[in-house]
Amino acid sequence: MSNINITLHHGLVNSTPKQRAAAKTLGLNKIGKTVTREDNPAVRGQVNVLRHLVTVEEVD
């Protein structure tokens, strides 16, 4: 499977507990932090919760 890079661009100050939990699970704790995760439905679901706070790039 391919991988995706997920970068946090906005802070989590006014976010919901569900959004904070998704960010913590992905390993995103600071603005500008980028993590690489395997592209699967579970990760895509977490990214969907944070879609307005992150950018996603596909990596080969």
Give the pLDDT of residue 1: 74
Neighbours of 50 (CB within 10 A): 22
Report the top-level CATH class of 3-59: alpha beta
Give the sign of the dihedral formed by CA 19, CA 12, CA 14, CA 52: negative
Domain boundaries, the chain: 3-59
pLDDT, tens digit (0-9, with 9 covering 90-100), for 14-49: 999 999 999 999 999 999 999 999 999 999 999 999
> How crowded is residue 28: how many other Cβ atoms within 10 Å of its Cβ?
23
Average pLDDT over residues 3-17: 96
> Do 40 and 1 contact (CB within 8 A), yes or no?
yes
Q: How many residues are given for the chain?
A: 60
Q: What integer pLDDT is reported at residue 60 of this predicted model? A: 80
